[in-house]
Structure 1
Amino acid sequence: MRFSPIPRGVYPGFSALDPEALAARGIRLVLADLDNTLVPYRVAQPSPQLTAWRDALDAQGIALFILSNSRKPGRAQNFAQALGVPFQGRSGKPRRRGYLQAMERMGCTPAQTVMVGDQIFTDTLGANNAGVTPLLVEPIQLAGNPGRYLRYAAETPFRLLGKRRPFL
């Protein structure tokens, strides 16, 4: 377990993560952030593209699990139910506890798990801290919150380093 903000690759979006390639690396569990990773903020239903990706993961024997920090009551639960996957809301990322609880629930080890997220200081940092491989995706949308622009600007050096060390 190491404290590092550097991801194992930076990908255009979740659909760029090939389920067959993940399975070939021994991955059995994909933990995924919800907002700005799988769907834009406030979107309540999964897209056909997300549903197809979930099905492709499932065909490779890989479970998709939503690991969200959302504080909105029912946000992660309702979305996960619509997608038909397990979830954990208010996960406390970047703390290790949420990652470890999710893996325990799913019967997987850190070596069998990746975390897909759009933020360095929650998703990537927490995954590395828990021994999980962090796969960073570009955020779906930045508009609407000036704080996001500042946060993503601060993440730029780590994103650049992550691009040099792809997992897939």
Structure 2
Amino acid sequence: MHRRIWGSISRRPSGDSERAIPNGDSPEASVARGVRLFCESGGPNNSGEEVLHLPVIVEAAESSPAAATEASVRIRKFLAKENNQRAYVQYNAIMLVRILADNPGKSFTRNLDQKFVSTVKELLRDGKDMSVQQILRETLDNFETNKANNETLAGLRDMWIKEKAKITKKRG
């Protein structure tokens, strides 16, 4: 009995770990499930099934500001250093940021807060997987050049400009 109680206590997620996925068919629940399924699909046995989840994610994020917020929080967690050993998860999360920055656009990007920017900066500095680094840098370059008029991306763009200058200076 003691082991069973201790086991259930030790398995509880920490306050900073991923929130439970909401139940039901609300846009928030749909986007939470869709983001998880999109980001976790693929990997060594990639079958391309992640694209099946895109319509649900985009539709939910377009239809509800709360769902767009939920998407940004979920994506940030997949970009975090806890997923460094699962590069495909981080890669898929970056792809999802690129897609949602275009559609629904500002209703999604307005949720890319300082925590999100810090997580991206940490991935940029400490990420080890070259494919993740490449797509992240391409995405940030795209935001810098093609989305300069989107003020909701200013935090990411400013961080990228500073980091890019440091990288250039470091290389000589």
Structure number with the higher strand fraction is: 1
Specify the TM-score bucket, using the shorter chain as the normaliser: 0.3 to 0.5
Structure number with the higher helix fraction is: 2
Rg: which structure is higher?
Answer: 2
TM-score (norm 2): 0.36
